Chain A
Amino acid sequence: MSEPILNCENLRKVFSENGTDVEAVAPINLCTEPGEFVSLFGPSGCGKSTLLLVAGGLLAPTSGNLLVCGHDPYALSASDRSAFRARHIGFLFQQFHLVPYLGVLDNILAPTLAGSFPDAEQRARELLEQFQLSHRLTHVPSKLSTGEQQRVALVRAILRKPRILFADEPTGNLDKENSTLVLDYLNDFANDGGTVLMATHDPVALERSTRTVELGKD
């Protein structure tokens, strides 16, 4: 058995709002290994997105233990945690969050702002070719279709070859064809040894994953 990429033990997140504690993520134990494509599902507000942010090193948990690639990201300094995210973690969002004023190629190369890595542009071009976007290199997001935007977001997320990819409703805004394309790639990513942790409502997406975890179930 290989070393887990993600290991959550009793991981819990509580938000305090107006003096009232709201449990966004109920205590959860979750361990994923390389090659796994894990889907989180459950009703809205059950904490799927929040769990992704906590596990992605963006939102400190209220309690519990977390290890990503063998490290507790919250034990690191803010700058080290940023570098850690840049090195090991990729994010994919339902709203894509592309930078509106950058062309496709620049959007994809945006992660290099966090630190350059060899042959980034060559890899970006290869991925764009692979995702049938090479004719859109200089186009800004507003000129792209929704599916193209999500593909750009996906290429950007995997540019630096992360070990784990956090995807929040990646197919939520996509048509069937583009959903299939994205899910195919996430599958391939897992098959290539990466780990995917995806929050979704999409039954098709659930079917494509190797494991599903239901949240919000008492």
Chain B
Amino acid sequence: MNPSRLVFREIAHRKLNFLLGAVCVALTVFITFGAMALLKAHDLETRAILADHDIRTEAILAQLESDTSQNMDQLEDAIRKSMKGLGFNIFIYPEGQEMAEVYAQGFASKTMPEEYVNKLANSKIVTVNHLLPRLTRKIKWPEQERTVVLIGVRGEVPLAHRDPKKPLIDPVPEGKLVVGYELHKGLVLKPGDTVKLMGKEFTVQKCHKERGTVDDITIWMNLGECQQILDQEGRINSILALECNCATLDRLGEIRAEIGKILPGTKIIEKGSKALARAEARVKAGATARKQMIETGRNREQQRANKSARLASLQGSRERMASILVPLIAILCLAIVGILSFTNVRDRQAEIGIFRAMGVTGGLILKVFLARAFFLGLLGAVLGLIFLNLGGSGFQEKYLHGYALSLLLDSRQLAVALITVPLLACVAAWLPSLHASQRDPAEILRHE
């Protein structure tokens, strides 16, 4: 006869007591690991929700960014086109030029060195581009007895520090003229015709369409020839430029400050401010779109934070509840196992007495009772894990958000449970078992 035989015989004999204890342990294991699985499933679901939110946010922001970028590109292109359509809108006049005179006659009477344009082009100026030097005068065309505006132009002077841009105005080659509408209409001129101006023969290169402005009585010619005719060699009376669309609200102030440093004393004015205001409005719209994008990002971030906080709070509540409920159930289970063990000890008093009388030590009695508790815990743990597995499969969709139990619980935890649960059952049965081992056999036998 060995103690384990005694243990198993007794278990087989008092099945109900043993099974009650085992079921109690099994329920505790089921509830404990079930709670862990539920919490883990909720945790994973929370992460999935937030990840989904992040993906959506990313997509929304990416779309917004793409839209904004596209809009901005279109906007910038529209501004560029509109600016180009307007032509030059910055005019640089010589030092000392009365602007009233310019406004009255349409050009400056004073001149400045042509070299100024090169100086400007070789500087690192950023607020303007498309520099065009010109010399303008209103003259009497002696051969035709007409008053015309004569403009000498050369090609745009490229900025040294920038990539060359497509010119707004093509240069007029030497010996050629470009003629305004009223002039070519009145004189019946067409490209290729030869015409005399100030005693010099020129070929009509191009005839402009009607513009309804002073351009219709304007002749454009090569700057050098113009300077020669007007006896203004090396002189110009204005430099035209196009302000860049990166300018800020105080763009004119910035332009004046920058040019003033390079060409001190020159007078700078801006034309076409209405169009620029529209451009500014568009720039502002672009900025608003960017701001909206940032705002959307912030809102989404805030939503995420709120959602995360709500889910964390919910998870926290669940964890708090589990942290109270699970230990309570575990304690209750331990108490029940303890009570059942105590009942078992009480039922086996005569047996304990006779065993002790036969010379069985209290230590062996203790081991027998603890072994019984160990097997009870082991069976309970196994049953609990089986229940858990069955429950996990059955309620995977309903309660575990579709996560498999194997994903929610670490197999090592389950393995540890198979060791710790029986040990806990031993702890629960410790006091009754100790009581059994220390019972006075004489006392038992006297009363039996």
Contact = CB atoms under 8 A, between A and B. Distances in A.
Interface of A: 49-50, 53, 56, 58-59, 78-79, 82-87, 89, 91, 93, 95, 97, 99-102, 106, 109-115, 156
A102 B448 contact: no
- A-B interface, 9 closest residue pairs, ranked by CB to CB distance from nearest: A86-B359, A101-B13, A114-B359, A59-B442, A109-B1, A97-B354, A58-B442, A85-B359, A53-B442
Contacts of A87: 359
Given A110-B1, A112-B1, A83 B359 contact: yes
Interface of B: 1-3, 5-6, 9-10, 12-14, 350-351, 353-364, 440-442, 445-446, 448
Given A110-B1, A110-B355, A113-B1, A97 B448 contact: yes
12 contacts: A53-B445, A59-B446, A78-B362, A82-B360, A93-B354, A93-B448, A95-B448, A97-B448, A99-B351, A101-B10, A110-B6, A111-B359
Contacts of B2: 113
B354 A113 contact: no
Contacts of A113: 1-3, 6, 355, 358, 360, 364
B353 A97 contact: yes
Scoring B10, B351, B353, B440 by chain A CB atoms within 10 A of each residue's CB, the highest score goes to: B351
B359 A115 contact: yes
Contacts of B362: 78, 82
Scoring A83, A87, A99, A109 by chain B CB atoms within 10 A of each residue's CB, the highest score goes to: A99
Contacts of B440: 59
Nearest to A79: B361
Given A97-B350, A99-B6, 18 more contacts: A50-B446, A53-B446, A56-B357, A59-B440, A78-B362, A82-B359, A82-B362, A86-B359, A91-B357, A95-B350, A97-B351, A99-B354, A100-B351, A101-B13, A102-B6, A110-B6, A114-B360, A114-B361
A97 B363 CA distance: 21
Nearest to B368: A113
Nearest to A113: B360
A117 to B, nearest CB: 11
Contacts of B3: 113
Contacts of A84: 359
A56 B358 CA distance: 10
Contacts of B354: 91, 93, 97, 99, 110
Contacts of A115: 359
A102 B358 contact: no
A83 B363 CA distance: 12
Scoring A83, A84, A100 by chain B CB atoms within 10 A of each residue's CB, the highest score goes to: A100
Contacts of A59: 440, 442, 446
Contact of B361 (A58, A82, A106, A156): A82
A109 B357 CA distance: 14
B445 A93 contact: yes
Contact of B1 (A78, A83, A86, A106): A106
A49 B361 CA distance: 22
A112 B1 CA distance: 6
Given A100-B13, A101-B10, A114 B442 contact: no
B18 to A, nearest CB: 12
Nearest to A90: B358
B370 to A, nearest CB: 15
Contacts of A112: 1
Given A58-B442, A101-B12, A106 B359 contact: no
Contact of B445 (A58, A85, A102, A114): A58
B441 A58 contact: yes
A114 B9 contact: no
A43 to B, nearest CB: 17
